[in-house]
């Protein structure tokens, strides 16, 4: 949904964009095993975080960078923290 809003993409185009950025197929986006492994590899947060795994803002910052999108909460965090 973020890409639909941020880049004006339709759902299929948004899925394709995300899949390309992540190096997987659009079908794999809905595969929980593939996504769990990918989230761990990229350290972009997990459904059940373990020690040392990115959570919250840290995960959002990484996601914004990987997908090359602006996330409002990330932008506000950067402004307020001086990053």
Instruction: Give the total number of structural domains in the chain.
Output: 1
77: containing domain: 2-81
The model's pTM is 0.75
d(CA 43, CA 54): 6
- 8: left (phi > 0), else alpha (psi -120 to 50), else beta? left
**pLDDT tens for residues 1-56?**
777 777 888 999 999 999 999 999 999 999 999 998 999 899 887 666 566 666 78
């Amino acid at each position: 949904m973020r890409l639909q809003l941020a880049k004006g993409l339709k759902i299929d185009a948004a899925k394709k964009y995300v899949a390309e950025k992540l190096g997987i197929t659009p079908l794999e986006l809905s595969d929980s095993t593939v996504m769990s492994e990918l989230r761990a590899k990229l350290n972009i947060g997990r459904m059940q975080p373990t020690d040392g795994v990115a959570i919250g803002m840290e995960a959002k910052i990484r996601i914004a960078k990987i997908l090359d999108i602006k996330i409002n909460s990330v932008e506000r965090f950067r402004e307020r923290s001086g990053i």
